[in-house]
Amino acid sequence: MAKGWRTDQKQDYYFRKAKAEGYRARSAYKLLEINTKFNLIRPGSTVLDLGAAPGGWSQVISQLAGPSSRIVAVDIQSMAPIPGVQVMRGDITDPNCTGRIQEALGQDADVVVSDAAPNVSGIGPTDQARSIELAIHSLGIALRVLRKGGAFLVKLFRGEDFDNFVSLAKRYFQTTRTYIPEASRKESREAYLVCMGLHEKFDLDALRELARAYGLRKRPK
Ligand X SMILES: C[S@@+](CC[C@H](N)C(=O)[O-])C[C@H]1O[C@@H](n2cnc3c(N)ncnc32)[C@H](O)[C@@H]1O
CB 111 within 8 A of CB 40: yes
Q: Does 52 bind ligand X (CB under 6 A)?
A: yes
| d(C-alpha 88, C-alpha 73), whole Å | 6
Contacts of residue 136, Cβ cutoff 8 Å, sequence gap at least 6: 165, 168, 210, 213, 214, 216
H or E element, residue 155: strand 146-157
Choose, by CB under 6 A, the member of 14, 18, 25, 72 that binds ligand X.
Answer: 25
Q: Among the candidate windows 61-69, 91-99, 160-168, 177-185, which touches ligand X by CB under 6 A?
A: 91-99
- Least gap, CB of 115 to ligand X (angstroms): 3
Q: Does 21 bind ligand X (CB under 6 A)?
A: no
Residue among 66 and 90 whose Cβ is closer to ligand X: 90
Question: Among 3, 155, 186, 218, which one carries the catalytic annotation?
Answer: 155
Contacts of residue 117, Cβ cutoff 8 Å, sequence gap at least 6: 51, 131, 134, 155, 190
Q: Does 57 bind ligand X (CB under 6 A)?
A: yes
Choose, by CB under 6 A, the member of 91, 163, 182, 203 that binds ligand X.
Answer: 91
Residue among 70 and 155 whose Cβ is closer to ligand X: 155
Decide if 201 is catalytic.
no
Does residue 88 sit in helix, strand or coil?
strand
Q: Taking the mean position of all CA atoms in its chain, how far away is CA 172?
A: 17
- Least gap, CB of 112 to ligand X (angstroms): 13
- Least gap, CB of 104 to ligand X (angstroms): 14
Q: What are phi and psi of 64, to 5 degrees?
A: -75, -40
Q: Does 53 bind ligand X (CB under 6 A)?
A: yes
Choose, by CB under 6 A, the member of 35, 72, 115, 172 that binds ligand X.
Answer: 115
Q: Among the candidate windows 32-40, 85-93, 146-154, 191-199, which touches ligand X by CB under 6 A?
A: 85-93
| CA distances to 30, 35, 40, 106 from 65, in Å | 17, 11, 10, 17
Choose, by CB under 6 A, the member of 17, 38, 42, 54 that binds ligand X.
Answer: 54
Choose, by CB under 6 A, the member of 105, 116, 136, 194 that binds ligand X.
Answer: 116
Contacts of residue 102, Cβ cutoff 8 Å, sequence gap at least 6: 144, 145
| d(C-alpha 91, C-alpha 66), whole Å | 27
Catalytic residue annotation: 155
Binding site for ligand X (CB under 6 A): 24-25, 27-28, 51-57, 74-77, 91-93, 115-118, 134
